[in-house]
A and B are shown apart, each in its own frame.
Chain A
């Protein structure tokens, strides 16, 4: 079933009675060529690109809950390619290019909105770093504009420019960044994968990973055993538990990251604005809610909800940056479970078990990575070779110290990112 303006008009005139489910609900078969564990954004994108790029359709996606019910539905929907370090830079650049063609590719309205991402800076030193990062982005082939204070003021006049602690010196603007509709991304990939023959199996939790002679042979699930030649683990938030089924310990701690949304308001915030010194960022959804978030709570958590101290901190940062927000009322808050890696960068790699592949460690950057992660993970699974933009996301970089991607320059240890 495709979408078009004509179709929507016709359905509107006939009571919307013609719409049908967008994907099948198949029972699991006893065997697949490839099994993807995890039906979130990354898992569904992986299945889609396995089918589209590599012609692999004997594929099942196993999801313990419902499709897109995890972190792809628990984020702040920001899409960007404004990284500094080699590794992250080319990966997110590739991912953003996929975002830009996603809706046409999937024939699904992902509400991709390239409204621009503005990172503020508050000192001469920060300006120098912003200039350097902007140059890295331009060298990578993406876009960046260094704005002075007046340039920022013209763009976002509602900020408090003269606050004593963090006066606004300017900003680094990334015009191609923006937001996308989180659920639609999962649904679009799900439909695209299903149409190409991938079985999307919900309410199917993996309980064991079968390994014989150092080779993966299948998985045990709550809906029976499934044999498979290749298995991909892509379950950020629960990576340690699933990897443990294969006898692995991962360099991952699961942490909580909170976000908040206000009641719907008339358009006021036209961009994504980030206030790094307050660990605060904000955009406005198409429905009108101000969507904003802060930093980790910093204690390990699988609760998918945070604690009050960080909620207070985020509200204080909001008031510091833009006092106008004090008139908005917060509607609700949520938390996503973040796979935190020691250097703050992800892992897409093979494992020591032949045929078992790992995709994890997205920290707080998983949403914008969805297309690139799926594309690169599918490439790795299908060809056995790393995809060039993700070639540095190696699992062994922590042990060897080579190729660490520590964007914050704080060190490659847990609890520092």
Chain B
């Protein structure tokens, strides 16, 4: 599996570590109730198919990336830097 880092180019999967579903980047409002926070922290769509994930280019430029990847085939469809639209 290779991931095409927007800053470094295509690199081996070994250079990256993964956090999980990119939905994690959007936190609930400050002051949201505990159920909302718990759902955000624990519940997942756990998609079988194309999924947007947060990856960290640990062995490269240290950028956080949004990788769109197929969890059934492992194909990588798109990589971008985590942007303002992804995170609060």
Binding site for B on A (CB under 8 A): 238, 240-241, 244, 249-254, 298-303, 307, 309, 342, 398-399, 412-415
Contact = CB atoms under 8 A, between A and B. Distances in A.
A387 B45 CA distance: 29
Nearest to A343: B42
B44 A252 contact: yes
Identify whether the interface residues of B are mostly helix, strand, loop, or mixed: mixed
Contacts of A342: 41-42
Interface string B2-23: 0000000000111001111100
Contacts of B41: 342, 398, 413
A415 B71 contact: no
Contact of B20 (A251, A253, A399, A412): A253
A309 B13 contact: yes
Contacts of B45: 240, 244, 249
Given A299-B18, A299-B69, 13 more contacts: A238-B48, A240-B48, A252-B44, A253-B46, A300-B71, A303-B72, A303-B73, A303-B74, A307-B1, A309-B12, A342-B41, A342-B42, A398-B42
B35 interface: yes
A240 B44 CA distance: 8
Contacts of A254: 46, 48, 71
A413 B41 CA distance: 7
5 contacts: A299-B53, A302-B71, A309-B13, A342-B41, A398-B42
B38 A414 contact: no
A253 B43 CA distance: 9
A252 B43 CA distance: 7
Contact of A398 (B21, B38, B74): B38
Contact of B46 (A240, A299, A303): A240
B31 to A, nearest CB: 18
A211 to B, nearest CB: 19
A295 to B, nearest CB: 13
